[in-house]
């Protein structure tokens, strides 16, 4: 019933949305023509004034999306079982370029914030990353985090999991709308709804917290950031996802990137996602220093750290 | 330095493993490499980072415990380094980027055990499953 109501509302919006983007854009393969395809996907995102508009357009042009049933979960498009990791990209949100660069079209405020990060790292030789004490990286930074991932698809929910800090994104595909604004509150991974079409999981996420795409020289995002994603299983081993990030504070245009995760060889089933806690070993306690950099606090293998260390803040 | 350690200047960029670590590498000196030879005291196979503690005998007979940080268990497993591979007493020569503040710790780069080189950063290699 909720799905029908939402679809009715969405259909009523078609004229204004379709005026911005006349043709839907299907999945584009990351092949030899990727530079041209990437430009096309970037331009597609720029036709929309907001992530909400883009998601509504995609949903309407998909006829509301496909209703999945449990027997379909074994089909290749929906069987995302296995242990994955990010295919590449390191500390760069856009995996096509090096971490010291960005393809984001930043607002003056966004550019200033990024330059401030660069200046701080250049002057101090490092930084403090808030995830050092197992706080969540948050979304959309979630896409850049390494380590092991698992993905669970069911007809009404999909779970996107990273072992790092036991981080789960829940995507509700049961036709529910977002939490109403009067009930919503910001969280690290926000509120995600989605639908399936043509073997793709389309996601819209909002009610997020501010953060950074990665540490180093990657840009920041504000608490107004929203993300539209299209996930697709490519060849049995690789999952790819189109990401369009909208952030009126830091981004002058939506930022398009193609993210990717590869299913790892795991013949002995040794690789599993296990609990991750920064407090289980005191040697992993990280101090945020007054200059904005990081330092280990108190090693269990050194009798008196304060006597040995030349760092005044350890003393 | 009186212990069996040598400091080598490195001309290479920051290693990729450090770039992927859970925390910033601001505390490490990536321009230097320390190498010590000793015996394993303890292998702390923990998240988010593992620590290999190595006892090194100094020239005066005293012992300094060095700690070398690597990624957590799943990355070590991907590098082929299991929890029981380095039991206490194992002879080891290990290299890492030292801390800037003079404490006996560093970011683990690689090690030689029984003539075999092990590298925890190999755990970042993406080895795909069969299609």
In A, minimum Cα distance to B27 occurs at A295
Name the residue range of residue B114's domain.
5-124
Among chain A residues, CA nearest to B128: A264
Q: How many CB atoms lie within 10 A of CB B46?
A: 17
Strand partners, A161: A150, A168
Q: Which percentage of chain A shows pLDDT scores above 90?
A: 90
pLDDT confidence band for B3 (50 / 70 / 90): very low
pLDDT at residue number A23? 75
Strands B91-98 and B63-71: unpaired
Is B131 within a domain? Answer: no
State the average pLDDT for chain A.
92
Residue B63 domain flag: yes
Interchain contact B48–A (C-beta under 8 A): yes
B97 half-sphere exposure, CB direction, 13 A CA radius: 21
Interface test with A, best of B30, B94, B100, B103 (most A CBs within 10 A): B103
Give residue B11's pLDDT band: very low, low, confident or very high (50, 70, 90): very low
Q: How confident is the model at residue A175 (pLDDT cuts 50, 70, 90)?
A: very high
Residue A10 has pLDDT above 60, yes or no: no
Q: Which residue of B has its CA nearest to A88?
A: B126
* Strand, coil or helix: A186: coil
> Does some domain include residue B75?
yes
Q: What is the mean predicted confidence (pLDDT) over B13-39?
A: 78
Domains: count for chain B = 1
Q: Has residue B109 been placed in a domain? A: yes
Cα separations in angstroms, A178 against A16, A171, A202, A253: 21, 11, 14, 24
Mean pLDDT, residues A95-119 = 96
B67 in contact with A at a CB cutoff of 8 Å? yes
Q: Say what the ipTM of the complex is.
A: 0.90
Helix (H, G, I), strand (E, B) or coil at A81: coil
Average pLDDT score over residue span B16-32: 76
Residue B130 domain flag: no
pLDDT of residue A75: 96
Contacts of A141 in chain B (CB under 8 A): none
Answer whether residue A9 shows pLDDT above 70: no
A299–B124 CB contact, under 8 Å: no
Best residue of A236, A301, A307, A312 to probe chain B, by most B CBs closer than 10 Å:
A301
Among the residue ranges A40-44, B23-27, B90-94, the one predicted with the least confidence is: B23-27
Please identify among residues 209-268 of chain A the ones whose CB lies closer than 8 Å to any CB of chain B. 215, 235-238, 262-266
Candidates A134, A284, A288: best to mutate against B (most CBs of B within 10 A) is A284
Q: Is the pLDDT of residue A15 over 60?
A: no
3-class DSSP state of A256 = strand
When CB atoms are compared, the residue of B24, B27, B67 closest to A215 is B24
Q: Which of B50, B74, B98 to mutate to test the interface with A (most CBs of A within 10 A)?
A: B74
| Strand-pair category, B5-9 with B105-113 | unpaired
Q: Is the pLDDT of residue B1 over 70?
A: no
Residue B110 in any domain: the answer is yes
Closest residue to A281, CB basis, from B19, B51, B66:
B51
* Greater pLDDT, B23 or B94: B94
Residue A166 near chain B (CB below 8 Å): no
Question: What does the pLDDT average to over A190-201?
Answer: 97
Q: Is B90 a member of any domain?
A: yes
Q: What is the pLDDT of residues A230-247, one digit of tens each?
A: 999 999 999 999 999 999
Does A180 have pLDDT greater than 60? Answer: yes
User: How confident is the model at residue B4, as a pLDDT?
Assistant: 45
Which position has the higher pLDDT, A6 or A141? Answer: A141
Task: Read off the pLDDT of residues A250-271 as tens digits, 9 standing for 90 and up.
Answer: 999 999 999 999 999 999 999 9
Residue B24 is part of a domain; what is its CATH number? 2.40.50.140
Read off the DSSP letter of residue A183. Answer: T
How does pLDDT run across A130-144, given as a tens digit for each residue? 999 999 999 999 999
Cα–Cα distance, A142 to A187 (Å, whole number) = 13
* C-alpha count within 13 angstroms, C-beta hemisphere, residue B15: 23
Q: What is the pLDDT of residue A22?
A: 53
Q: Cβ neighbours of residue A136 under 8 Å, at least 6 residues apart?
A: A165, A167, A188, A189
In a domain, B25, yes or no: yes
B27 touching A, CB under 8 A?
yes
What's the full length of chain B, in residues?
A: 131
**pLDDT tens by residue, B108-127:** 999 999 999 999 999 999 99
* pLDDT of amino acid A20: 52
Per-residue confidence (pLDDT) for residue A108, from 0 to 100: 98
Residue A245's Cβ-side half-sphere holds a number of Cα atoms within 13 Å equal to 32
Quick one: pLDDT band at residue B21, thresholds 50, 70, 90? low
Give the chain B residue nearest A144 (alpha carbons).
B20
Contact residues on chain A for B103, CB-CB shorter than 8 A: 296, 299, 302, 305, 308-309, 314
pLDDT of A106 over the 70 cut: yes
């Amino acid at each position: 019933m909720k799905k029908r109501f939402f679809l009715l509302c969405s259909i009523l919006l078609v004229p204004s949305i379709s005026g911005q983007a006349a043709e839907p854009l299907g999945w584009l393969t990351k092949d030899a023509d990727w530079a041209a395809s990437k430009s096309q996907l970037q331009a597609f995102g720029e036709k929309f004034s907001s992530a909400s508009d883009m998601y509504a357009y995609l949903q309407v042009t998909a006829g509301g999306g496909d209703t999945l049933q449990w027997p379909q979960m074994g089909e290749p498009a929906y069987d995302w079982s296995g242990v994955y990791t990010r295919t590449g990209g390191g500390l760069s949100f856009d995996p096509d370029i090096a971490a010291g660069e960005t393809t984001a079209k930043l607002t003056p405020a966004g550019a200033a914030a990024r330059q401030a990060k660069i200046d701080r790292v250049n002057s101090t030789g490092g930084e403090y990353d808030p995830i050092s004490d197992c706080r969540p990286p948050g979304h959309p930074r979630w896409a850049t985090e390494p380590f092991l991932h698992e993905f669970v698809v069911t007809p009404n929910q999909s779970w996107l999991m990273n072992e790092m800090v036991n981080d789960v994104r829940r995507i509700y595909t049961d036709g529910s709308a977002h939490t109403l604004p009067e009930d919503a509150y910001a969280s690290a991974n926000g509120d995600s709804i989605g639908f399936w079409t043509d073997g793709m999981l389309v996601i819209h996420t909002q009610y997020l917290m501010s953060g950074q795409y990665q540490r180093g020289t990657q840009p920041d995002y504000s608490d107004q950031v929203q993300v539209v994603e299209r996930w697709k299983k490519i060849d049995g081993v690789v999952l790819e996802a189109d990401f369009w990030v909208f952030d009126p504070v830091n981004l002058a245009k939506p930022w398009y990137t193609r993210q990717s995760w590869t299913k790892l060889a795991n013949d002995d089933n040794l690789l599993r996602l296990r609990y991750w806690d920064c407090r289980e070993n005191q040697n992993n306690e990280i101090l945020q220093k007054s200059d904005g950099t990081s330092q280990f606090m108190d090693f269990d293998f050194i009798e008196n750290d304060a006597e040995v260390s030349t760092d005044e803040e350890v003393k | 330095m009186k212990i069996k350690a040598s400091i080598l200047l490195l001309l290479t960029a920051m290693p990729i493993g450090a770039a992927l670590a859970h925390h910033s590498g601001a505390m490490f000196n990536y321009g230097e490499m320390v190498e010590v030879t000793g015996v394993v005291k303890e292998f702390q196979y923990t998240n988010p980072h593992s620590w290999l503690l190595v006892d090194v005998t100094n020239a005066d007979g005293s012992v300094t415990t060095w700690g070398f940080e690597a990624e957590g268990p799943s990355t070590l497993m991907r590098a082929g380094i299991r929890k029981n591979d380095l039991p206490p007493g194992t002879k080891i020569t290990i290299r890492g980027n030292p801390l800037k503040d003079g404490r006996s710790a560093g970011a683990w780069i690689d090690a030689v055990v029984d003539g075999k080189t092990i590298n925890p950063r190999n755990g970042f290699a993406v080895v795909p499953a069969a299609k």
